[in-house]
Amino acid sequence: MIPGLILGVAVGLLLPQWEPHPRRPLRRLFDLRLVRGPLGGLALASMFSALAFVTFSGSVPLWLVHEHDYAPDATIIGWTLSAFAFAGGLGSILGGFLAPRLGALLTIVGAFLLTLCPLLAVIATEPGTAAYFGAIVLSGILIFLPVPALVIIAQEFIPGAPATAAGMVLGLGSALAGIGYIVLGRIQETVGLTHGILIGFSMVVPAALIALVVLVRGVSAPVQDSAAC
C-alpha cells in the first residue's frame, strides 16, 4: 500500500491538472474509423511495447524456474515482478513530466529503443544480483516512459475526443498484445523459452519505428476532430 500512496502523491505533484472536456455520446467511445489514421499507428506501437511488457511478466518467471532451477514459489520471482511493476509506475510519472520538456519524438522513440538494452541485460545477468535488479528497474522505467506521451499525442490528433484517444491507444494496444502473446507462446515452444523471450523483448523496436513514422507524418497531417465525424 505504501508504494501506491507514494506514487499517488507523485502523480498529483508532477502531472498537469486535469482539464474537463465536453461530454460525448457513448457510441463515440470507440470509433473504428480512427484506426485507419495515425491513432491506429499509435495503438499498434502501444501493442508492440505492451507485448514486450507481457513477455516480461509472463515469461521471465518461467525462465527463472526452467532455466535457473528456482522453485515456482521462489521469493526472487515476486521481487522480480514487483521491481518491474513499481519501476513501470515511476516510468509513467517520469514520462508525464519529461514529455513536455523533451518532446514526443525523444520521449517515445528514444525510450522504446533504449528499453531493449536493459531488457536484454535481464537475461544476460545472473538472477538475484544487483546488476539483475538494476536492469529490471531500468527496463520498467523506460518501457513505461513513453506511455503518457503516446496518450498526449493521440489526444492531439483528435482533440474533440480525448477519452476515445486514450482508450484506443491503451485499451486496443493491450488487447492486441494479449492476442500477440498467444502467438509468441507458440513461437517459444518452437525456438525455446529464452529465444522466445528475446523475440518478445525485441518488440520495442517495431514499437519505436511505428511511432517514429506516425510522429513524422503527423507533423504535416491535419488534426482530426472526432466530434465532427
| Sign of the torsion angle spanned by Cα atoms 11, 200, 174, 40 | positive
pLDDT, mean of residues 11-27: 57
| Mean pLDDT computed over 108-129 | 95
**Predicted local distance difference test score (pLDDT) of residue 211:** 93
Name every residue whose Cβ is closer than 8 Å to that of residue 51 and which is 6 or more positions away in sequence. Answer: 177, 180, 181, 184, 200, 203
Instruction: Give CA–CA dist 187/221, Å, rounded.
Output: 38
Each residue's pLDDT tens digit, 80-99: 999 999 999 999 999 988 98
Q: Is 104's pLDDT higher than 50?
A: yes
The answer to whether 40 and 56 are in contact (CB under 8 A) is no
Q: Is the dihedral of CA 75, 55, 87, 118 positive or negative?
A: positive
**Confidence grade of residue 39 (pLDDT, cut at 50, 70, 90):** confident
Percent of the chain residues topping a pLDDT of 90: 50
Q: Between 160 and 127, whose confidence is greater? A: 127
- Residue-wise burial string across 53-82, b where 16 or more C-beta atoms lie within 10 A, e elsewhere: bbbbeebbbebbbeeeebeeebebbeebee
Instruction: Return the pLDDT at 167.
Output: 78
The more confidently predicted of residues 151 and 226 is 151
Q: What is the distance between the terminal CA atoms of the chain, rounded to a whole angstrom?
A: 43
Residue bearing the bigger pLDDT, 4 or 189: 189
